[in-house]
Amino acid sequence: MRTYFIATGWNNRPVSQHSRALAHALADRGHRVVLLVPGNVPEARSPSTNPAVLNWPSPRPRHFRDVKFLFRLARKYRPDCMVANFGATNVMTLVGYLTRVKGRVDWYHTLSSQLEADSSVSAIRGWIQVIRRCLVYKLATHVVCNSQAALEDVKAVYRVPDHKCHVFHNALEDPIKRYGLTAVDRQPNRLVCVGRLEPSKGQDVLIKSIAILKDQFPDIRVDFVGKGSSKQAYVALAENLGVKENCHFRGSLSHMDVLHSMALATLTVVPSRHEAFGLVNIESLAAGTPVVGSHTGGISEIVRSGVDGFLVTPGDSAALAERIAELLQNPALREAMAVQARKRFLAIFEQQLAVSKQADWFESLSGKNESKQPFA
């Protein structure tokens, strides 16, 4: 029996669901697993189960009290592997290094270009953040990237050597099994665009495409799902281009409602300028809804242009409009792509299949160690 610590969120978002599924897969194989979740969800605490669920002292584990907490847990459980996501990366990796945990795995979710495009910090502060991440990744034994694009990014920007890097695409529990999701009554000329309302996500490109398409498809509608700092600018852009009535900003929705919106939509549009992976793409494939997206980052590794959707140059609103129009006026092509989308999801991105392979890999890490140990 080996012991794994996995730091993750405690919500219904796909990354959190994926982490919990991995924890249960390892526990089912006879290992001891401890899930570390934010300190603002006390109802999640379940220390006596396997996986055990424990709360960080803080809502985000970035403070000295979180370091002390993890030190105590490491002495108690003596983990063989620590797996860190998002805000837990710094604390988990540092404490894992100092306590000589053999496997210290950081999950890399976001491209540096996305952070740069959406960040409001100064250039100096941004440089400091890059240096800090370089140091953290130097202490990690492995960096798991959610796409090949993310792998190339972490190597180029943070100088992570190739032997530390591994690619595991994100995965999703089949929504048809979980929610009974169906797409019987798709709404004509209905598009959905899911993502933070930030420059890297490119919703402004789609708004400009809607302005191009409006004369040909007067009833076209796009539901923008998500919130962010660019909302007011995008609302103003839609009004200035005369497509305010065609663009509906719905704010944040539950994961089930997001999937339901995709199942009802004719198309999902993903106009990102930068994207490490783009969970929205596999959500759409799972719902059997074709994707029109940008040929960038991880999107290009998910959507096969001409098979289960189309890919266009990022930022090209005319090309995006052309591909949307092609699918809106061709039901047979849409249906063929919908079938391929669903097959693609089940073959590559279905959670149970993906997590089984990942559990195999994590088991293979146990017992391996670095050539140099701290405090040797």
CA distances from 117 to 67, 121, 163, 356 (A): 31, 11, 29, 35
What whole-number distance in Å separates Cα of residue 149 and Cα of residue 303?
Answer: 14
- Residues 127-164 pLDDT 10s: 888 999 999 999 999 999 999 999 999 999 999 999 99
Taken as a whole, the chain contains a residue count of: 376
pLDDT averaged over the chain? 92
* Location of structure tokens 């146990």: 366
What whole-number distance in Å separates Cα of residue 155 and Cα of residue 132?
Answer: 15
| pLDDT greater than 90 at residue 41 | no
In the chain, which residues fall in CATH 3.40.50.2000? 3-171+351-365, 175-349
The more confidently predicted of residues 183 and 114 is 114
Contacts of 252 (CB under 8 A, 6+ apart): 225, 226, 227
Note the pLDDT of residue 184.
62
DSSP-assigned states of every residue in 147-203: SHHHHHHHHHHH---GGGEEE----B--HHHHH----SSPPTTEEEEES-SSGGG-H
Gyration radius (Cα) of the chain, Å: 22
Helix/strand/coil percent split, the chain, to 5: 50, 15, 35
Establish whether the linkage from the previous residue to 79 is cis, with ω within 30° of 0.
no
What sign does the CA torsion over 357, 358, 359, 363 have?
A: positive
- Residues 227-236 pLDDT 10s: 999 999 999 9
**96: helix, coil or strand?**
helix
pLDDT bin (cut points 50, 70, 90) of residue 373 is: very low
- Residues 267-303 pLDDT 10s: 999 999 999 999 999 999 999 999 999 999 999 999 9
Confirm or reject CATH 3.40.50.2000 for domain 3-171+351-365, answering yes or no.
Answer: yes
- Residues 107-134 pLDDT 10s: 999 999 988 888 877 888 888 889 999 9
- Residues 93-107 pLDDT 10s: 999 999 999 999 999
Beta carbons of 308 and 284 less than 8 angstroms apart: no
* Location of structure tokens 């370089």: 134
- Residues 238-264 pLDDT 10s: 999 999 999 999 999 999 999 999 999
Helices (H), 245-314: 255-264, 279-286, 299-302
Note the pLDDT of residue 45.
81
The CATH class that applies to domain 175-349 reads alpha beta
